[in-house]
Amino acid sequence: IAGITQAPTSQILAAGRRMTLRCTQDMRHNAMYWYRQDLGLGLRLIHYSNTAGTTGKGEVPDGYSVSRANTDDFPLTLASAVPSQTSVYFCASSASFGGGPHNEQFFGPGTRLTVL
């Protein structure tokens, strides 16, 4: 069982370039999420999707876009990368959206992105 996979594992990117981080889950979860984690800080929510075809903004959405064409995939795109987007990016999924008592979130291994 793969769970959640993310690609690439790491990437160095020149400022101004476009980049898409990939996330795929095989658990048929309805909800998916993107977080970023910066040194010394907790995870911050960028965007989320509560079901295929819908997306929403999290705490830090500026500079990022997402799409949810199907249940399994939730790519995160940086249209024009800036150095402040250097971070570790985690994708997550859960069976359904929100705070249900058994609605555990499963996280991928992360993508380490450096923007120079």
Partner 1 sequence: DAKTTQPNSMESNEEEPVHLPCNHSTISGTDYIHWYRQLPSQGPEYVIHGLTSNVNNRMASLAIAEDRKSSTLILHRATLRDAAVYYCILRIGNTPLVFGKGTRLSVIA
Residue 21, class by beta-carbon neighbours within 10 Å (0-12 exposed, 13-18 middle, 19+ buried)?
A: buried
Which distant-in-sequence residues (6+ apart) come within 8 Å of 62 by Cβ? none
Q: Least distance in Å: CB of 16 to partner 1?
A: 29
Residue 53 or 100 having the CB closest to partner 1:
100
Q: Least distance in Å: CB of 78 to partner 1?
A: 20
Q: Using the rule CB under 8 A, is 86 a contact of partner 1?
A: no
Residue 14 or 42 having the CB closest to partner 1:
42
The two structure tokens encoding residue 54 = 């819908």
Which residue from 43, 76, 78, 113 is in contact with partner 1, where contact means CB under 8 A? 43
